[in-house]
């Protein structure tokens, strides 16, 4: 038992806040009875299969403040969740030789308990008698995945549908609650088909399948990300390609000369962007967030009509336009914050920092650096002092991940969005490490390779 405890402590990612192993193992068969006091029970089948259970889930009415999942005997030995674990994703797990009981405040909490159970079963080869009390430290835990045109002539790693599904599974099993999908000219827009590179990879059916896999199988929420100000060619900058203007040069008035930014004062552009946002929101099942990007707006407002106003006014007006549309759809806007203020990166043209004083405070500011911000970072302090919530984005930099999570916890900031950009396979260890640290920064497993071998390479 001592060896098993050490093995679980070294390999389990994320590690629960409280885990106590007992003697013995759960000894019911794989088709053991599974019951829950909630509807939608069939959505649990995939996670239960990862735990080794093949039986169907039955609805069982139990009067309780918790959702309760029971496996095995009818004896309900579920634990109440410790009062200090106030998070909606908190769960309690109790395993005896004859029963498994999970109590949670939400169906996603049940999902996290089953993910933990599946990982422990993989490490221990069976399910040991144990008790767990667990909840995440950070509220918004997201991994950002790009989906590129494989034929754009640039160097990058694989982002085909199966590669994206593997990354989503790794994210789900590493403690994230969201996955951000940024389609670089690869989303199959139906109203504006010329906004998609011709390809056989990402049909609407394939995208719907990825969304369903995330939501219905893995209990992780997919979020859309689309450049709605700059990077408006929706292609990697070094490809020198433009998804629309390479196919429809007659639409050039909707972009500034060269196509890097949208011509935001053009009514046709506004209608186009509304259509783009609508299709994303519908496909992603009315998600709680949409990332509008808005970074690196070189030459913003450089067409003839836009020159009648200052770039500051144009940029602020455009952000308010995007935000108002999304608010009407009950979706919160996220944006890269470097055009407004950045203490470390994006040392090119930026708007006057005073612009933030007139922006809606519901916009979620995504601050970032690919480097290590150190133990004090001025960016969250700047935006939070103005009344905005912030999330932080590290890249492939373990020290940067550590310091951002530490600053986020100390400041009580909203969360972390771990980026992968054009190197998703290279970033897998950073994704696993960051997810585990966001969930529980006090106990980090050392054996990331073991975690990846099962939940990424073993897909």
The DSSP code for 122 is H
Give the model confidence (pLDDT) of 248-274 as tens digits. Answer: 999 999 999 999 999 999 999 999 999
Q: Which domain holds residue 252?
A: 140-455
300 in the same domain as 388: yes
Q: What is the pLDDT of residue 77?
A: 65
Q: How far apart are CA 218 and CA 34, in angstroms?
A: 18
**Which tokens sit at 294?**
């808005």
CATH at 26: 3.30.379.10
Work out the mean pLDDT of the chain and round it to a whole number: 94
Among residues 86, 108, 134, the one where a domain terminates is 134
Q: What is the pLDDT of residue 348?
A: 62
191 in the same domain as 78: no
pLDDT average, residue stretch 314-336:
97
Q: How many CB atoms lie within 10 A of CB 23?
A: 8
Which pLDDT band holds residue 443 (cuts at 50, 70, 90)?
confident
Output the pTM of the full model. Answer: 0.97
411 in the same domain as 358: yes
Among residues 90, 110, 134, the one where a domain terminates is 134
Tally of domains within the chain? 2
Q: With contact defined as beta carbons under 8 Å apart, do 132 and 93 qualify?
A: yes
Q: How far apart are CA 409 and CA 292, in angstroms?
A: 25
Q: How far apart are CA 393 and CA 144, in angstroms?
A: 9
Which pLDDT band holds residue 107 (cuts at 50, 70, 90)?
very high
222 in the same domain as 73: no
378 in the same domain as 328: yes
307 in the same domain as 161: yes
Q: With contact defined as beta carbons under 8 Å apart, do 32 and 53 qualify?
A: yes
Q: What is the pLDDT of residue 353?
A: 83
Q: With contact defined as beta carbons under 8 Å apart, do 191 and 230 qualify?
A: no
Q: How far apart are CA 335 and CA 146, in angstroms?
A: 16
pLDDT average, residue stretch 370-393:
96
195 in the same domain as 115: no
77 in the same domain as 50: yes
CATH at 442: 3.20.20.80
Which pLDDT band holds residue 347 (cuts at 50, 70, 90)?
low
pLDDT average, residue stretch 404-414:
98
Res. 66: pLDDT tops 90: yes
299 in the same domain as 275: yes
Res. 459: pLDDT tops 60: no
Among residues 88, 111, 134, the one where a domain terminates is 134
231 in the same domain as 110: no
173 in the same domain as 295: yes
305 in the same domain as 232: yes
Q: How large is the angle between the packed helices 428-439 and 448-455, nearest 10 degrees?
A: 110
**Nearest residue to 376 via CA among 420, 416, 344, 421:** 344
Which pLDDT band holds residue 351 (cuts at 50, 70, 90)?
confident
Which pLDDT band holds residue 173 (cuts at 50, 70, 90)?
very high
Give the model confidence (pLDDT) of 8-22 as tens digits. Answer: 989 999 999 999 999
């Amino acid at each position: 038992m001592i060896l098993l405890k050490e093995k679980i402590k070294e390999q389990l990612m994320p590690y629960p806040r409280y885990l106590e192993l007992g003697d013995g193992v759960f000894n019911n068969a794989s088709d053991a009875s599974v019951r829950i006091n909630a509807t939608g029970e069939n959505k649990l089948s995939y996670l239960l299969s990862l735990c080794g259970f093949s039986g169907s889930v039955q609805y069982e009415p139990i009067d309780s403040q918790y959702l309760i999942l029971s496996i095995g005997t009818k004896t309900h030995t579920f634990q109440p969740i410790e009062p200090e674990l106030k998070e909606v994703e908190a769960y309690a797990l109790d395993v005896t030789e004859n029963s498994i009981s999970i109590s949670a405040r939400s169906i996603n909490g049940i999902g996290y308990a089953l993910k933990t159970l599946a990982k422990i079963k993989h490490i221990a080869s069976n399910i040991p008698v144990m008790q767990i009390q667990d909840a995440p430290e950070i509220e918004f835990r997201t991994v950002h995945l790009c989906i590129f045109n494989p034929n754009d002539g640039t160097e990058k790693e694989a982002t085909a549908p199966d590669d994206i599904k593997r990354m989503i599974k790794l994210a789900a099993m590493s403690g994230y609650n969201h996955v951000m999908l940024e389609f670089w000219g690869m989303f199959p827009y139906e109203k504006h088909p010329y906004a998609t590179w011709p390809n056989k990879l990402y049909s609407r059916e394939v995208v719907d399948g990825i969304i369903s896999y995330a939501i219905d199988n893995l209990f992780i929420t997919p979020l859309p990300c689309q450049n709605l100000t700059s990077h408006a060619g929706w292609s990697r900058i070094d490809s020198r390609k433009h998804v629309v203007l390479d196919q429809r040069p007659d639409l050039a008035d909707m972009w500034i000369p060269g196509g890097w930014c949208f011509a935001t004062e053009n009514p046709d552009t506004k209608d186009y962007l509304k259509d783009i946002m609508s299709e994303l929101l519908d496909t992603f099942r009315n998600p709680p967030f949409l990332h509008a990007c808005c970074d690196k707006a070189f030459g913003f407002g450089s067409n003839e009509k836009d020159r009648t106003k200052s770039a500051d006014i144009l940029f602020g007006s455009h952000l308010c336009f995007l935000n108002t549309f999304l608010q009407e759809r009950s979706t919160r806007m996220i944006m890269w914050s470097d055009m407004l203020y950045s203490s470390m990166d994006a040392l090119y043209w930026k708007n006057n920092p005073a612009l933030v004083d007139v922006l809606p405070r519901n916009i979620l500011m995504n601050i970032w650096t690919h480097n290590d911000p150190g133990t004090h970072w001025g960016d969250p302090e700047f935006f939070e002092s103005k009344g905005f919530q912030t999330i932080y984005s590290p890249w492939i930099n373990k020290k940067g991940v550590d310091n951002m999570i530490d600053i986020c916890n100390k400041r009580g900031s909203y969360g972390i969005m771990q980026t992968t950009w054009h190197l998703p396979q290279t970033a897998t260890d950073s994704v696993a490490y960051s997810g585990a640290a966001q969930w529980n920064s006090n106990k980090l497993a050392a054996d990331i390779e073991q975690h990846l071998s099962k939940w990424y390479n073993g897909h």
